[in-house]
Amino acid sequence: MIRSPIARTGTLKPARTRKCAVKGCANRFQPRSMMHKACSPECAIVHTTKERARLDAKQTRERKQKVKTRSEHIADVQVAFNALVRYRDRDQQCISCPTHLPTLADQPGGGFDCGHYRSRGSAPHLRFDLRNAHGQCKKCNRYRAGNAADYRIGLIARIGLAAVDALECDQAGGNWTIPELLAMKADFRAQLAKMKKETA
């Protein structure tokens, strides 16, 4: 006769337990099924309410994404792009004056701007080009109309004359589709996360 493991050992394996899914509840319980997440009816109500709220928020975000205009997507990408540029240049001096950017870090509104050499108005196709955007103090960017002459001097020092000439002649691109904009936003966020991880 072939004996089962229970018959051979004469003991039962201890029942598998699971930690309650409700944050702050340290109870463990024996689940009745894969869907059994909470240790008690009270915790089940809390867990179900939070899950429903999470799903509602997710569906709301998805609905908003579907009705967003191209302009709104461009604005979203701009936020991710600006954050990347500001982090990249956080230890530099202003591209167009001797102001050391870290001294501005605690000021309201991010301390300093992501300033564009060729403006977003005159060259919208370069608004997300990393050659064209650098950390710039608010004084130069907002009150000196970008301080273009000194920006060019700083830009040549940073990326070289040939690159600046190429940037000034660049007239291509800019007709991004919404899927391309979504991909760009994800890419800029990923680059920022990588930079932060490397400098942590």
User: Residue 183's pLDDT band (boundaries 50, 70, 90)?
Assistant: very high
Read off φ and ψ for residue 113, nearest 5 degrees.
Answer: -100, 165
* DSSP classification of residue 105: T
Read off the pLDDT of each residue in 148-163 and give the average, rounded to a whole number: 96
Cα 111 from Cα 115, distance rounded (Å): 13
How many angstroms from the chain centroid is the CA of residue 133? 18
Read off the pLDDT of each residue in 142-166 and give the average, rounded to a whole number: 96
**pLDDT value of residue 109:** 65
Say whether pLDDT at 157 is over 80.
Answer: yes
Burial of 9 (C-beta count, 10 Å sphere; 0-12/13-18/19+): exposed
Give the rounded percent of residues in the chain with a pLDDT score beyond 70.
Answer: 86
Burial of 94 (C-beta count, 10 Å sphere; 0-12/13-18/19+): buried
**pLDDT value of residue 84:** 96
**pLDDT value of residue 2:** 56
Read off the pLDDT of each residue in 88-93 and give the average, rounded to a whole number: 94
Identify whether the C-beta of residue 23 lies closer than 8 Å to the C-beta of residue 10. Answer: no
* Both tokens assigned to 95: 């591209």
pTM comes to 0.69
* DSSP classification of residue 38: -
**pLDDT value of residue 193:** 96
Give the model confidence (pLDDT) of 16-60 as tens digits.
888 998 988 988 988 888 888 888 888 988 888 888 888 878 776
Neighbour tally for 1: CB within 10 Å: 3
Please list, in sequence order, all residues whose beta carbon lies within 8 angstroms of the beta carbon of residue 55, skipping any fewer than 6 positions away.
Answer: none
User: Residue 4's pLDDT band (boundaries 50, 70, 90)?
Assistant: low
- Strand-pair partners of 116: 133
**pLDDT value of residue 111:** 85
